[in-house]
Structure 1
Amino acid sequence: MPYKSNSELPETVKENLPEHGQDIYREAFNSAWEEYKEPSDRRGGASREETAHKVAWSAVKRVYKKDSRGKWVKKD
C-alpha cells in the first residue's frame, strides 16, 4: 500500500511531522515496500507493512529529532 501523497499518510505521521519530514517518510516507506516484499527479506516474521513503517521512521530520525516539547525538528 504505497502512499501517492502525504495526505494519504497515517494520521500519526501527518499530525507530528513537518511537511519535509512527511516527504521523507513517504519516500522511505514506498521504497521499503518494494525492497521488502518477500518475507525472506524481512526480520523476525514482521509484515511487509510493519517493516516499511520501521524503515520510514528510521529515515525520518536521520534528519529530524524531537525537541524538549516533543515536537519534531530538523537536526543541526
Structure 2
Amino acid sequence: MPYRSISQLPDAVRDNLPKHAQEIYKEAFNHAWEEYADESKRRGDDSRDETARKVAWSAVKQGYAKGDDERWHAK
C-alpha cells in the first residue's frame, strides 16, 4: 500500500535510513506500486508489495551505501 508520509514507512526503513533516503524510498515505492499494479509487468512470482519494496531499496542504494559503521551514508 502506498505511503502518504515517511512516518508510515516500515520500522526497518525509518530506524536505519537518513531522512532524505527515507523520502527516496517512499517516492520510489509509491511509483513502483502504481507501475507494477498489473501482475504481467512483474518478474517471477513477486507480489506487488515485494516488487515495490525491491524497487524502493534499489533507488536508495543509488544514492546511499551502508558504511563500515553499519549506518547508511550518502555516496
Do they superpose with TM above 0.5? yes
Name the CA distance, whole Å, in 2 between partners of 1:35 and 1:74. Answer: 27
| Residue number in structure 2 paired with 1:61 | 61
* Deviation of the 1:33 alpha carbon: 0.1
CA deviations over 1:7-62 (Å, ceiling 9, x no partner) = 00000000000000000000000000000001100001100000000000000000
Q: Percent identity?
A: 60
| 2:43 pairs with 1:46 | no
In the alignment, what sits opposite 2:22? 22
Q: How many angstroms apart in 2 are the aligned matches of 1:74 and 1:18?
A: 9
- 1:5-16 alignment, distance < 5 Å: 5-16=5-16
Unaligned regions of 5+ residues in structure 2, if any? none
Large movers: runs of 4+ above 6 Å: none
The amino acid that maps onto 2:8 is: E
- Unpaired runs of at least 5, structure 1: none
Calculate the TM-score normalised by the size of structure 1: 0.98
Residue type of the alignment partner of 2:31 = S
Matched residue count: 75
